[in-house]
Chains A and B, each alone.
Chain A
Amino acid sequence: MDQYVIGVIVANVSGVLSRVSGMFTRRGFNIDSLTVGETESSGFSRITIAFHGDEDIKERILQQLQKLHDVREVEVLDSKDTVIRELLLIKVRNKTEIRQDIMTAVEIFRSKIVDYSPHGSCMRAHGRDIKDRRFYPASQALWHHGDVPHGYRGYREGRELPQDSEITKRNSSAANIYERSV
């Protein structure tokens, strides 16, 4: 089972997230993480979805997404030419005896303290697959209360969004951007 990260450009209309996530539920696929935000053209949103599966499952997910009316484009974010970042907020107890350890971890892993109070502080980390790397185990050792992973944001390097006029042509052309090679 490999992990895939895909970018889905959708029309920014109400219910679109339901349609996309609902497709996963209905067809028995699992989402590892999902982030969504408006793109620079306000009519469109970008949903970045990470999931585990084999090649077959990936193909089926891509094909089913293509069929949704509100989906304009689906792209697989290949690790070779994509910037992918995961954001993690970690809450740690602010105890005097471990404060130095926290600061060391923050420095080594180039994260940041973004909140500070007598009871706890919040560390922010971002990078690729944070949970798999040493930062996460190290911070766990620091009495962490819980974490708020923000999921992945991914962008194909040097690639721009399709122009509005191209997008409005939709379906026939957009649906062909991805076709399984047999």
Chain B
Amino acid sequence: MKISGAKIVVETLIEQGCDTIFCYPGGQVIDLFDELYTARDRIKQILSAHEQGAAHAADGYARATGKVGVVIATSGPGATNLVTGIATAALDSVPMVAITGNVPCELIGRDSFQEVDIVGVTMPITKHNFIVKDISELADTLRTAFKIAKSGRPGPVLVDIPKDVQTALFEFEANAQPVIPYPITFASEEKLKKAAEMINNAERPYIYFGGGVISGKASAQIIALAEQIDAPMGCSLMGLSAVPCDHPKFLGMQGMHGHYASSIAEDEADLVIALGARFSDRATGNKSRYAKHFSIIHIDIDGAELHKNINADLAIRGDIRDAAERLIAMTEAKKRPQWAQRIEELKNEEAARTASARKTKSGFLHPYDIVDIISAHAGDDTIIATDVGQHQMWTAQRYPLKKPRTFLTSGGLGTMGYGLGAAIGACAATGRRAVLFTGDGSFGMNLNELATAVSQQTPVTIVIMNNGVLGMVRQWQTLFFDRHYSCTTFNRKTDFVKLAEAFGAEGGRAATNEELEKLAERAFACEGPFVIDCAVDCDEFVLPMLPPEGSVDDIITEIK
């Protein structure tokens, strides 16, 4: 039977296992939304306040579940508003399909109303993108989009559908199954043997893992490998939550604002085993100084990552879970007591340095206390989302993450305003509670999604670390720019509690741990969003810090 292009889109989405979409309607997708209306019992539709929020929500949905997130927007401004959300997903390898409407084919290229070449715009920030000008290709293009998004190293795919393709009629037959990803590449046996040999000969091996461990479902294998070869583990920001934070071999995040023990241990290692990580400048510091003392084994599913940022001594392309499993079989179970003892020393040193760096000012909450009090109320399954800035680093350093896919943060792109949308998406996907740690700067960027959280009754606790400044930039200005606080002091009078109430949510303000305790109790009992405005000192620093272009030699652990 012939059905419309719009219906083909809806039926293909359902066929691909999509149960929820995040969307914002408009003129060139009105036909598609008409079909969505008919299908509203089969596919949940969440209307955001702004397309960017919808894109972040689809991203949060994907990160929390591993499934492909879907966002739908109209042509022109609707499509361009998705751009930051798509780029965020691209930089963090998140599977997403973005569907945009466009003007009818014959109006394309004439600067028609709300026309933009979104395929051209998003070419560098998608894994691939399509414009479908022929209805006979519509269903298969959408299927390919899903296939590309979830294959290998995941990523966003955009499909642009002109209005006349949505209204045209064509035969459609649903497939019984969602598309399966392209076959994965397996690491070569020979190279893995070489890797095992390097590991067996190493005295001080160190495992540096990234987000690939989460998307490759390799948490258990990484832990087993670390235990078998008695190696400490550190990770990039994207790797957080892959390994329970209290695992004795886990030292936490490394790099610019990473844990002291983690960064130093890596530097003292003689072999770094990088698994599903890409040696971002934020994780390595100065590249000419990095890796001076150690050899590197780099294993990644994406061949283009090998030798891209760092020249590895042994680079292996392959599925991370399979590679780790085979490495476990190939390496010797071995205790490295001297190395383990050195790691213990570093952990103790870190604890002492953290304690000594801590300063308390009355009238303000300490960021670590905020994280501790909130985490005491949350469960292991609670989704933790962040925005970008100081609060993000404090959360990354301190929050006791236990399970993969519970930590949503914009690592690669560093998108302020990411978190609220992501939390809404993750809650919609999982039905679980979420906590958003944010700053007054980041929250200001996309707080309109509070409207969505209220309409969806999203159980999200929004913790604003409010210091009245753009804290991370201010920190750099303090340390490296002679305290020229250029455009980082807000002088705003925003009352976040009243703001929450204005949106129909609840909220409260905390300046002491006791106040925060009480508010946290209320927040976690609340069925919808709850805003906690926490007073934080504007001169609280994120420590330790490797200065920009600096290395572990320049690590700052205390501001005198």
Kindly report which residue of chain A lies nearest to residue B148, judged by CB atoms. A69
Beta-carbon contact of B306 and A69 below 8 Å: no
Chain A residues lying within 8 Å of B302, measured Cβ to Cβ, are: 67
Beta-carbon contact of A60 and B191 below 8 Å: no
B residues sitting closer than 8 Å to A (CB atoms) are: 119-120, 123-124, 127-128, 131, 148, 151, 182-185, 191, 302-304, 306-308, 311-312, 314-317
A22 on the B face (CB < 8 A): yes
Beta-carbon contact of B303 and A60 below 8 Å: no
A 164-182 binary contact with B (CB < 8 Å = 1; else 0) = 0000001110011001101
Give chain A nearest CB distance to B483 CB in angstroms.
Answer: 35
Other 20 A-B pairs with CB < 8 A, given A60-B308, A69-B148, A175-B185: A15-B123, A18-B120, A22-B124, A56-B307, A60-B304, A60-B307, A63-B304, A63-B306, A66-B304, A67-B304, A70-B128, A170-B182, A171-B182, A172-B185, A179-B303, A180-B306, A180-B315, A182-B191, A182-B306, A182-B316
Given contacts A60-B308, A172-B183, A182-B191, is CB(A22)–CB(B123) below 8 Å? yes
Beta-carbon contact of B127 and A69 below 8 Å: yes
Pick from A63, A68, A172: contact of B303, CB under 8 Å: A63
Beta-carbon contact of B123 and A19 below 8 Å: yes
Q: Tell me, in angstroms, the Cα distance from A68 to B157 when the chains sit together.
A: 12
A64 on the B face (CB < 8 A): yes
Chain A residues lying within 8 Å of B183, measured Cβ to Cβ, are: 172
Q: Which 9 A-B pairs have the closest CB atoms?
A: A63-B304, A69-B128, A172-B183, A171-B182, A26-B124, A182-B315, A63-B303, A64-B304, A67-B304
Kindly report which residue of chain B lies nearest to residue A15, judged by CB atoms. B119
Interface size on A, residues (CB 8 A): 24
The CB with the most chain A CB atoms within 10 A, among B302, B303, B307, is that of: B303
Chain B residues lying within 8 Å of A19, measured Cβ to Cβ, are: 123
Q: Which of A39-74 contact B (CB under 8 A)?
A: 56, 59-60, 63-64, 66-70
Q: Tell me, in angstroms, the Cα distance from A59 to B311 when the chains sit together.
A: 12
Q: Tell me, in angstroms, the Cα distance from A171 to B184 when the chains sit together.
A: 10
A residues sitting closer than 8 Å to B (CB atoms) are: 14-15, 18-19, 22, 26, 56, 59-60, 63-64, 66-70, 170-172, 175-176, 179-180, 182
Give chain A nearest CB distance to B202 CB in angstroms.
Answer: 18
Q: Tell me, in angstroms, the Cα distance from A9 to B366 when the chains sit together.
A: 58
Chain B residues lying within 8 Å of A176, measured Cβ to Cβ, are: 185
Give chain B nearest CB distance to A39 CB in angstroms.
Answer: 21
Beta-carbon contact of B303 and A175 below 8 Å: yes
Q: Tell me, in angstroms, the Cα distance from A180 to B314 when the chains sit together.
A: 11
Pick from B123, B127, B307: contact of A180, CB under 8 Å: B307
Beta-carbon contact of B127 and A66 below 8 Å: no
Beta-carbon contact of B317 and A179 below 8 Å: yes
The CB with the most chain B CB atoms within 10 A, among A59, A66, A68, is that of: A59
21 A-B pairs whose Cβ atoms sit less than 8 Å apart in the complex: A19-B123, A22-B123, A59-B307, A63-B303, A63-B304, A63-B306, A68-B128, A69-B127, A70-B128, A172-B183, A175-B303, A176-B185, A179-B303, A179-B317, A180-B303, A180-B306, A182-B191, A182-B306, A182-B312, A182-B314, A182-B316
Q: Tell me, in angstroms, the Cα distance from A171 to B151 when the chains sit together.
A: 10
Q: Tell me, in angstroms, the Cα distance from A174 to B233 when the chains sit together.
A: 35
Q: Tell me, in angstroms, the Cα distance from A70 to B182 when the chains sit together.
A: 14
Chain B residues lying within 8 Å of A69, measured Cβ to Cβ, are: 127-128, 148
Q: Tell me, in angstroms, the Cα distance from A68 to B127 when the chains sit together.
A: 8
Kindly report which residue of chain A lies nearest to residue B302, judged by CB atoms. A67
Beta-carbon contact of A172 and B182 below 8 Å: yes
Chain B residues lying within 8 Å of A175, measured Cβ to Cβ, are: 185, 303
Beta-carbon contact of B306 and A18 below 8 Å: no
Q: Tell me, in angstroms, the Cα distance from A179 to B186 when the chains sit together.
A: 13
Q: Tell me, in angstroms, the Cα distance from A110 to B185 when the chains sit together.
A: 50
Give chain B nearest CB distance to A28 CB in angstroms.
Answer: 12
Kindly report which residue of chain B lies nearest to residue A68, judged by CB atoms. B128
Beta-carbon contact of B308 and A66 below 8 Å: no
Chain A residues lying within 8 Å of B315, measured Cβ to Cβ, are: 180, 182
Q: Tell me, in angstroms, the Cα distance from A59 to B312 when the chains sit together.
A: 14
Q: Tell me, in angstroms, the Cα distance from A108 to B305 when the chains sit together.
A: 50
Give chain A nearest CB distance to B148 CB in angstroms.
Answer: 6
Chain A residues lying within 8 Å of B184, measured Cβ to Cβ, are: 172
Beta-carbon contact of B303 and A66 below 8 Å: yes
Give chain B nearest CB distance to A19 CB in angstroms.
Answer: 6
Chain B residues lying within 8 Å of A60, measured Cβ to Cβ, are: 304, 307-308
Kindly report which residue of chain B lies nearest to residue A176, judged by CB atoms. B185
Q: Tell me, in angstroms, the Cα distance from A67 to B300 when the chains sit together.
A: 14
Kindly report which residue of chain A lies nearest to residue B153, judged by CB atoms. A67
Chain A residues lying within 8 Å of B148, measured Cβ to Cβ, are: 69
Kindly report which residue of chain A lies nearest to residue B314, judged by CB atoms. A182
Chain A residues lying within 8 Å of B191, measured Cβ to Cβ, are: 182
Chain B residues lying within 8 Å of A56, measured Cβ to Cβ, are: 307, 311
Give chain A nearest CB distance to B137 CB in angstroms.
Answer: 10
Chain A residues lying within 8 Å of B185, measured Cβ to Cβ, are: 172, 175-176
Chain B residues lying within 8 Å of A64, measured Cβ to Cβ, are: 304
Q: Tell me, in angstroms, the Cα distance from A171 to B127 when the chains sit together.
A: 14
Q: Tell me, in angstroms, the Cα distance from A176 to B303 when the chains sit together.
A: 10
Chain B residues lying within 8 Å of A22, measured Cβ to Cβ, are: 123-124
Chain A residues lying within 8 Å of B119, measured Cβ to Cβ, are: 15
Q: Tell me, in angstroms, the Cα distance from A176 to B318 when the chains sit together.
A: 11
Chain B residues lying within 8 Å of A66, measured Cβ to Cβ, are: 303-304
Q: Tell me, in angstroms, the Cα distance from A64 to B124 when the chains sit together.
A: 12
Q: Tell me, in angstroms, the Cα distance from A172 to B306 when the chains sit together.
A: 17
Kindly report which residue of chain A lies nearest to residue B304, judged by CB atoms. A63
Give chain A nearest CB distance to B47 CB in angstroms.
Answer: 31
Q: Tell me, in angstroms, the Cα distance from A67 to B124 when the chains sit together.
A: 12
Chain A residues lying within 8 Å of B124, measured Cβ to Cβ, are: 22, 26
Chain A residues lying within 8 Å of B182, measured Cβ to Cβ, are: 170-172
Chain B residues lying within 8 Å of A172, measured Cβ to Cβ, are: 182-185
Kindly report which residue of chain B lies nearest to residue A178, judged by CB atoms. B303
Chain A residues lying within 8 Å of B304, measured Cβ to Cβ, are: 60, 63-64, 66-67
Kindly report which residue of chain B lies nearest to residue A172, judged by CB atoms. B183
Kindly report which residue of chain A lies nearest to residue B123, judged by CB atoms. A22
Give chain A nearest CB distance to B382 CB in angstroms.
Answer: 36
Chain B residues lying within 8 Å of A63, measured Cβ to Cβ, are: 303-304, 306, 308
Kindly report which residue of chain B lies nearest to residue A19, judged by CB atoms. B123
Q: Tell me, in angstroms, the Cα distance from A60 to B310 when the chains sit together.
A: 12
Kindly report which residue of chain B lies nearest to residue A66, judged by CB atoms. B303
Beta-carbon contact of B307 and A18 below 8 Å: no
Chain A residues lying within 8 Å of B127, measured Cβ to Cβ, are: 69
Chain B residues lying within 8 Å of A18, measured Cβ to Cβ, are: 120, 123
Chain B residues lying within 8 Å of A68, measured Cβ to Cβ, are: 128
